[in-house]
Structures are given as structure tokens and as C-alpha cells.
Amino acid sequence: MYPYHNKIKQRIKNDELESYYFCDHYPRIGECLVLVFKTEPISRPIRPHRYHEYLQLLKHIEIKGTEEFKRERFEKFNNR
């Protein structure tokens, strides 16, 4: 079994995360948080029931991008 979430969290800690965004219609998944990494595999989708784990990690990381959009979505999903 592939330790999907453990590997992703390790990549975040290793500073490989480039950006992230929330997606309403990810192929074969639907709503998810998409983490975009600098190395392969580039994108990793996270389903809503796991948001709480990742929002805690992302809270402490400064990432380039549309900060206003990220802040809005972050607050929306953090308050669920």
C-alpha cells in the first residue's frame, strides 16, 4: 500500500510545495484541495475529509499566488 498522505506531508516538510488551490470539479474526485509540487508527481489532490490535516500545515507556509483567493477559500474550509 502506498502511504499517500505520509509522502505528501513529508514533501511539504521538505519544502517541495510550490502552491495549492481548491478545485470544485477535479477529474474523478470532485471537490478537493490540490497541492502543486516542484517535482514529480506535480499535483496531488486531497479530499475534503482530510482538509483539516493539511490546513494546519499550510497555515505556517508562505506560498506564492493569489493570496486573497487562497485566504478566502482557506477561511471557508477551515470554518467547516
DSSP string, the chain: ---HHHHHHHHHHTT-EEEEEEEEEETTTEEEEEEEESSSS-EEEE-GGGHHHHHHHHTT----S-HHHHHHHHHHHHT-
pTM: 0.76
| 44-68 per-position pLDDT tens digit | 999 999 999 998 888 777 665 555 5
**Residue 56: which domain range?**
4-78
* Residue 27 binned pLDDT confidence (cut-offs 50, 70, 90): very high
**Structural domain count, the chain:** 1
The pLDDT confidence band at residue 77, using thresholds 50, 70 and 90, is: low
